[in-house]
């Protein structure tokens, strides 16, 4: 089920990758970013962002649908299959 999304990335974790990943969704208009520092300065900013989503249902629906387009439903199976293949390759010639 697709839902409009607000991302609050932590800029100090994972070398800023949360910010970079969130920016991909924001650029695609698939999510809204509210920076942690902005919330710390102005706690009402997050509430205002939530209200903006609630008060614009057509835009919120479109945002949710764009975010949903990023979904990869079979991703866990693909990763698991790749891991099994890599393991099998690494065992070749070891006289299992």
pTM for this prediction: 0.74
Tell me how crowded residue 84 is: count the other CB atoms within 10 A of its CB.
Answer: 10
User: At 15, is the pLDDT very low, low, confident or very high (cuts 50, 70, 90)?
Assistant: confident
**Dihedral (CA of 48, 71, 73, 82) sign:** negative
Residue 28 has a pLDDT of 97
- Count Cα atoms within 13 angstroms, Cβ side, for 23: 7
């Amino acid at each position: 089920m697709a839902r409009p999304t607000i991302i609050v990335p932590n800029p100090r974790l994972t070398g800023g990758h949360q910010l970079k990943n969130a920016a991909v969704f924001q650029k695609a208009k698939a999510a809204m970013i509210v920076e942690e520092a902005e919330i710390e300065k102005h706690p009402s900013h997050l509430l205002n962002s939530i209200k903006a989503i609630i008060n614009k249902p057509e835009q919120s629906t479109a945002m949710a649908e764009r975010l949903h387009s990023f979904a990869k439903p079979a991703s866990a199976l693909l990763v698991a299959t790749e891991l099994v293949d890599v393991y099998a390759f690494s065992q070749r010639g070891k006289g299992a």
